[in-house]
Amino acid sequence: MQAEKLEIIRLLLETDDKELVSEIKNVFQKKGFDFWDDLPVGVKESIQRGLDEVYEGKVISHESVMEDIKNKYGSGS
């Protein structure tokens, strides 16, 4: 069973077919699969902390971080 799962994962990672990916996602949703249930507790807690920080406005935009790096280290060219 594990080998089959790994083969499906490999095929999924190699495809660029958006419709196929969407169909696979729909199959999991129809079956009631929720990846959250399979995550380790520590991962769930980390995700929740990150979401809490977003809701509390404790975020920095990507653009702002990149601008700080550019100012500190130069443009890189």
Neighbour count for residue 57 (Cβ, 10 Å): 6
Q: What is the pLDDT of residue 70?
A: 92
Closest CA to 25 of 42, 12, 40: 12
Query: With bands split at pLDDT 50, 70 and 90, how would you rate the model's confidence at 6?
Result: confident
| Range list of β-strands (E), 1-77 | none
Mean pLDDT confidence for 43-48: 91
> Is residue 48 pLDDT above 80, yes or no?
yes
Give the whole-angstrom CA distance, residue 15 versus residue 36.
24
Q: What is the pLDDT of residue 41?
A: 92
Are the beta carbons of 59 and 53 closer than 8 angstroms? yes
